[in-house]
Chain A
Amino acid sequence: MTLELQPSRRGFLRQTGLLGLAVSAVTFLPRMAYASWNKAAFGAKTMADTYKAMGVDSPTVSADIQLNAADIAENGAVVPVEAISKIPNTTQISFLVEKNPAMLTAQFDIGPDTLPQISTRVKMGQTSNVIALVKADGKFYTASKEIKVTLGGCGG
């Protein structure tokens, strides 16, 4: 009995071991598909801390970034913004709202075939500068625009 069981037990262990590996691979795969969320940057309360957490060192103001948004946002809860970078080798575009409780709104890492042009909608608590931060060739560039908010969108 034991002699009969021995090989199948080994086989069973080997199989479950493999199965376990396969299961864990499947479970972890969806997480691996995502970049790890930069908690420090999104939780930072000052511009200096935000830039530090993002690895940004004194970005250059650039006229090659076009930041499209209305001058006045009637509803701060939904403010459409668009950034277009004409800087070669742009790999990242981020949006920051200077006077929001947490400034960093969104960071987009773009692939080589993706055009450096992103549009989205942000929330604004009050009239503030909105900054488009572009990373190209490892360097950072910014463009900013003041958007006047007549009704705040951060509640509270």
Chain B
Amino acid sequence: MGNPMKIRAVSKDGVTEVKVLMNHPMETGLRKDAAGALIPALFITEVTAKLNDKVVLQAQWGQSVAKNPYLGFKVKGGKPGDKVTISWVDTSGDTRSDQATVN
């Protein structure tokens, strides 16, 4: 299920600004642990953002997105009380979806 994301969505002058902080190790598969063994790759590959029921952003990620990924974007429309939903899938097939209310 992964760990919860932090999502902040603020509507101002007809534009909703969304900031997301995900909780994920984003292992590249190139790093070695203390014993010198490779740490297997584990990273988010796909992200979808929705404003209410509408998909507003779809992302594909590689292993070089930083650990605990940050994502910021802006969408026209959206008003206080609307819902922003962010979901991701990682290389292990794990998924996570979190929702926030627009302020």
Q: Which residues of A line the B interface, CB within 8 A?
A: 30, 33-35, 37-38, 42, 77-80, 82, 97, 100-102, 104-111, 113-115, 117-124, 153-156
**Minimum distance in angstroms from A126 CB to a CB of chain B:** 12
Residues from chain A with a CB closer than 8 A to the CB of B64 are: 97, 100, 102, 105, 122-124, 154
Contact of B28 among A34, A38, A155 (CB under 8 A): A155
Do A115 and B76 contact each other (CB < 8 Å), given the known contacts A34-B46, A34-B89, A37-B45? yes
A sample of 30 cross-chain residue pairs with beta-carbon separation below 8 angstroms, ordered by A number, consists of A33-B48, A34-B48, A37-B45, A37-B46, A42-B60, A77-B66, A78-B67, A80-B70, A82-B72, A101-B28, A102-B62, A105-B65, A106-B61, A108-B57, A108-B59, A110-B56, A110-B73, A111-B57, A111-B75, A113-B75, A113-B77, A114-B57, A114-B74, A117-B74, A120-B66, A120-B70, A120-B71, A120-B72, A121-B69, A156-B31
> Is B30 an interface position by the 8 A CB rule?
yes
**Minimum distance in angstroms from A93 CB to a CB of chain B:** 9
In whole angstroms, how far apart are the Cα atoms of A121 and B20 in the complex?
11
Within 8 A of A (CB), among B43-100: 45-46, 48, 51, 54-67, 69-77, 87, 89, 95
Whether A37 contacts B57 by the Cβ 8 Å rule is no
Do A105 and B28 contact each other (CB < 8 Å), given the known contacts A117-B73, A119-B70, A119-B71? no
Q: Which residues of B line the A interface, CB within 8 A?
A: 15, 26, 28, 30-32, 45-46, 48, 51, 54-67, 69-77, 87, 89, 95
In whole angstroms, how far apart are the Cα atoms of A153 and B95 in the complex?
25
